[in-house]
Chains A and B, each alone.
Chain A
Amino acid sequence: MIRPDAPVLLEIKDLHARVEDKAILKGVNLTVRAGEIHAVMGRNGSGKSTLSKVLAGHPAYTVTAGAVSYRGQDLLALDPELRARIGVFLGFQYPVEIPGVSNLEFLRVATNARRAEQGGEELDTFAFEDLVRERLNVVQMDPAFLDRSVNEGFSGGEKKRNEILQMALLEPLVAILDETDSGLDIDALRIVAGGVNQLANADNATVLITHYQRLLDAITPDYVHVMAAGRILRTGGKELALELEERGYDWVDQELAAQAPVPLEVA
């Protein structure tokens, strides 16, 4: 839902970032207001996951220029755990497995860290079990997954559901979901999309990173951005996604080629 007077939650200005010596983000601009759903599309390797990891504070990526403010605060100055506690959430494209760490305990510690930041009281194991059972419904997940190690031995789809469960517990204000639809069959896609729709409200915002129109059939975006070579090349409404579906990405390459040459990367 677009409301021009809604507060700005996330503002990315001319963001440049590299990994090791390779420049990947080359001037990303994006403004996200409360109540909005954004879709970021683009070919493999265009820098979508990099953008999401930079926003979440992954140590492998170095910001070389630009700024990101989250509700007026300098997001890039904060450690990753603080970003999470104040309401920035990244749903990973490839959630890692953490053997030995109980999923339930992990969810509880994470939820309590977020609650503490909001001045809420700590949930003990019993209170938390009640909460988590309620939130399991959002993604129709089997409670048996709570007793396993974090993501260990989960199928691709189960991992993605576990991501949305975390989102449901942490109640972020900005959720960046990186290819949450990949690896899901139709039923799982419907469930995950339903969960995301259920969690979206007028006070929060969602950034969906995806390749496919099929996710956007289930979650209607307010804006669609096309990313290429580390920048947002074009922004439009939901019809832009349909256009991409029809025409593919070749026109993106042409548009890129037509532009002034990007400065040479540092080798």
Chain B
Amino acid sequence: MSTAQAVGDLVSQPYKYGFVTDIETEKIAKGLSEDVVRLISSKKQEPAFLLEFRLRAYRQWLQMQEPDWATLGYPPIDYQDIIYYAAPKQQDKKASLDEVDPKLLETFDKLGIPLSEQKRLSNVAVDAVFDSVSIATTYKEKLAEHGVIFCSISEAVKEHPELIQRYLGTVVPINDNYFAALNSAVFSDGSFVFIPKGVECPMELSTYFRINSGDTGQFERTLIVAEEGASVSYLEGCTAPMFDTNQLHAAVVELVTLDDASIKYSTVQNWYAGDENGVGGIYNFVTKRGQCRGDRSKISWTQVETGSAITWKYPSCVLQGAESVGEFYSVALTNHRQQADTGTKMIHVGPRTRSTIVSKGISAGRSANSYRGLVQIGPKAVGAKNYSQCDSMLIGDQAAANTYPYIRSQQPQAAVEHEASTCRISEDQLFYLQSRGIGFEEAVSMMVSGFCRDVFNQLPMEFAAEADKLLALKLEGSVG
């Protein structure tokens, strides 16, 4: 067998989270209309301001066009053929985990995210979201002692409406783009984090998103606010069952940092990617943006993207505060017929703002992996600096990698530096490792994780090993 073929087999490991939980679900009828938006809002017993927000977004969305500038090809999405609300049947969110449907707990157990008191991770608080609803959040009380709010966004709407009203939609306006408008109209659940002034969040926070239904869209909404001097590290993980249909996932994440605050936001995305012929898988259209409002504040995005049939995602930073810092570290692995068009936008507004972009794309099979990034330096961004590095690794000879770096500078003195490279895992490199007793699979995964090291080093310690394992898992398999 040729090396290319063997590597191909290796990256074609069956997806391990493809099971469906058999649970009674409450779903509304397919389709989208103003009535559906009202229905979602009433099911969630929302205050008037939020219904208003949703309706404005819906009306804007009706006026908008689906974007087509990305290097992606997919059949038209029928927005009337999607269910916009699905929730496992249980009464209200349970006060105690003991009352949560054991099937749900079991599901998260199987996914490696135990929620029960005895088994849960010791230094990570988890918000577990199943289809459209958050089913449990661990360590809430402990966090509350520090003044940290960590709960589902639906709960936050009820318990902290003033914070939601103050921040929701202020980073990603409802008409920002087609998918953000859709999300703003129909968003289901997601996480809310608030770190008050001067508080360093005492533990890692994490949200785990699980898609279970085959015909339901996923529209999460996440909002994280760090007040003056506060800091937090947050991680999201995602999986979905294997269906031969595509599920639409259109999330919005908004981050806000005030003076001297910092947010580190990490994603390990492992949605179902479709089969080797490109049948099934998640369409992932996500808007993530952070606003460094305060001076010397910092927002750092780290993402490991391995799933999804289609990824359209550009986590961005708006660097308003003087000397604020934006970072983007990304690994995107595509295989088979997966398509990823991902990157970032660094918008330098304030003086002496700095940003760093490190992107690693790995393409195998017949997949296409594009980096698309914008570095914009505004007229007031005196002394702004950016460093970008975009590396692509090709596995086999049918995969494609593209890099589209855009630089717009209105500051002649700004320092903008861009480096790019493309490499291919060569037969001779693999043979060299093998000839030292290292198995083929381990050799491939050593090379891939070596390629990704700069990004993995940015993940919170607890998850760096996880990410390495996830890539190894994607690369694991019999060599035939």
Contacts and interface: CB of A to CB of B under 8 A. Distances in A.
A96 B451 CA distance: 16
Contacts of B436: 81, 84, 106, 110, 113, 166, 170
A59 B437 contact: no
Contacts of A90: 435
A58 interface: yes
Interface in A139-159: 149-150
A117 B446 contact: no
Interface string B1-29: 11100000000000000000000000000
Interface in B410-435: 423, 426-429, 431-435
A114 B423 CA distance: 30
Contact of A79 (B3, B432, B433, B434): B434
Given A60-B427, A101-B446, A95 B451 contact: no
Contacts of A81: 434-440
Given A59-B427, A80-B431, A92-B432, A98 B447 contact: yes
A80 B434 contact: yes
Given A60-B427, A106-B446, A109-B446, A98 B437 contact: no
B142 interface: no
A96 B429 contact: yes
B31 interface: no
B450 interface: yes
B453 interface: yes
B155 interface: no
Given A110-B438, A113-B438, A102 B450 contact: yes
B204 interface: no
Contacts of B427: 59-60
Contacts of B442: 109
Contacts of A57: 431, 434-435
B353 to A, nearest CB: 30
B429 A98 contact: yes
A166 to B, nearest CB: 6
A59 B450 contact: no
A193 B373 CA distance: 52
Interface in A69-85: 79-81, 83-85
Nearest to A60: B427
Nearest to B452: A100
Contacts of B453: 100
B363 to A, nearest CB: 17
A96 B434 contact: no
A117 B437 contact: yes
Given A59-B3, A98-B429, A100-B451, A84 B435 contact: yes
Contacts of B433: 98, 101, 106, 110
B450 A84 contact: no
A56 interface: yes
Candidate in B436, B442, B449, B450 with the most chain A CB atoms within 10 angstroms: B436
A114 B439 CA distance: 11
B431 A59 contact: yes
Nearest to B448: A100
A161 B278 CA distance: 47
Given A92-B432, A96-B429, A109 B438 contact: yes
A237 interface: no
A73 to B, nearest CB: 16
Contacts of A100: 447, 449-453
A99 interface: yes
A149 B447 CA distance: 11
A129 B429 CA distance: 24
B447 A101 contact: yes
A149 B437 CA distance: 18
Nearest to A80: B434
A84 B437 contact: yes
A64 B453 CA distance: 42
A92 B428 CA distance: 11
Contacts of B438: 81, 106, 109-110, 113
A96 B432 CA distance: 7
B432 A101 contact: no
A99 B437 contact: no
Nearest to A92: B432
Interface string A165-180: 0100010000000000
Contacts of A109: 438, 442, 446
A176 B432 CA distance: 14
Given A81-B439, A106-B446, A117-B437, A58 B431 contact: yes
Nearest to B443: A81
Nearest to B439: A81
A227 to B, nearest CB: 21
A95 B447 CA distance: 16
B392 to A, nearest CB: 13
A166 B435 CA distance: 11
Contacts of A80: 431, 434-435
A98 B425 CA distance: 9
Contacts of A96: 426, 428-429, 432
Interface in A89-139: 90, 92, 95-96, 98-102, 105-106, 109-110, 113-114, 117
Given A81-B439, A109-B442, A98 B423 contact: no
Nearest to A115: B437
Contacts of B451: 99-100
A85 B436 CA distance: 7
The CB with the most chain B CB atoms within 10 A, among A80, A84, A85, A95, is that of A80
A77 to B, nearest CB: 15
Given A60-B427, A149-B450, A114 B2 contact: no
Contacts of A170: 436-437
A166 B432 CA distance: 12
A60 B1 CA distance: 10
Contacts of B431: 56-59, 80
Interface hub of B426, B432, B439, B452 (most chain A Cβ within 10 A): B432
Nearest to B2: A59
Given A59-B427, A96-B428, A100-B451, A114 B434 contact: no
18 contacts: A59-B431, A80-B434, A81-B436, A81-B437, A81-B438, A84-B435, A84-B437, A96-B426, A96-B429, A100-B449, A106-B446, A109-B442, A110-B438, A113-B436, A113-B437, A149-B450, A170-B436, A170-B437
Given A101-B450, A106-B433, 15 more contacts: A79-B440, A81-B440, A84-B436, A84-B437, A92-B432, A92-B435, A96-B428, A96-B429, A98-B432, A100-B449, A100-B452, A101-B446, A106-B438, A110-B436, A113-B436
Interface of A: 56-60, 79-81, 83-85, 90, 92, 95-96, 98-102, 105-106, 109-110, 113-114, 117, 149-150, 166, 170
